């Protein structure tokens, strides 16, 4: 299991792909269930914001829902060990050029 060894947090404006050991402090602004007929099934989607007001889209497949049960709307949490990918497609709930995806190694802490 990948673990972040530092207590240093990164701002959402600085996260980039090809690294999964990021640690960010975020507040959940909005969450919803995205229904899908694809093999992965439904997903839980979030709009997250950091302390500077930068917003980013975060997605969590049904398989990893237990990892994000602490992510509640209006509450600040530390999110660690997630993947960062380009935000593409017609549906982009934020203007951030990347989006976050919860993985089997992701952690949410107070």
Count of structural domains, the chain: 1
Assess if residue 64 is contained within a domain.
yes
Per-residue pLDDT tens over the stretch 19-37: 989 999 999 999 999 888 7
Domain range for 97 is 22-109
Query: What is the Cα–Cα distance from 89 to 71, expressed in whole angstroms?
Result: 25
Q: What is the CATH number of the domain that holds 52?
A: 2.40.50.140
Assess if residue 54 is contained within a domain.
yes
Assess if residue 69 is contained within a domain.
yes
Q: What is the pLDDT of residue 39?
A: 67
Assess if residue 12 is contained within a domain.
no
Assess if residue 91 is contained within a domain.
yes
Assess if residue 90 is contained within a domain.
yes
Per-residue pLDDT tens over the stretch 44-100: 999 999 999 999 999 999 889 888 988 999 999 999 999 999 999 888 999 999 999
Do residues 8 and 33 lie in contact, with contact meaning Cβ atoms separated by under 8 Å? Answer: no
Q: What is the pLDDT of residue 1?
A: 47
């Amino acid at each position: 299991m990948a673990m972040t060894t530092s207590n240093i947090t990164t701002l959402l404006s600085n996260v980039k792909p090809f690294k999964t050991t990021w640690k960010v402090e975020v507040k959940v602004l909005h969450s919803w269930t995205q229904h899908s007929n694809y093999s992965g099934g439904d997903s839980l989607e979030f709009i997250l914001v950091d302390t500077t007001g930068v917003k980013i889209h975060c997605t969590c497949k049904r398989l990893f829902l237990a990892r994000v049960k602490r992510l509640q709307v209006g509450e600040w949490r530390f999110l660690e060990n997630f993947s960062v990918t380009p935000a593409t497609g017609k549906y982009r709930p934020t203007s951030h050029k990347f989006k976050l995806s919860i993985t089997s190694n992701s952690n949410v802490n107070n």
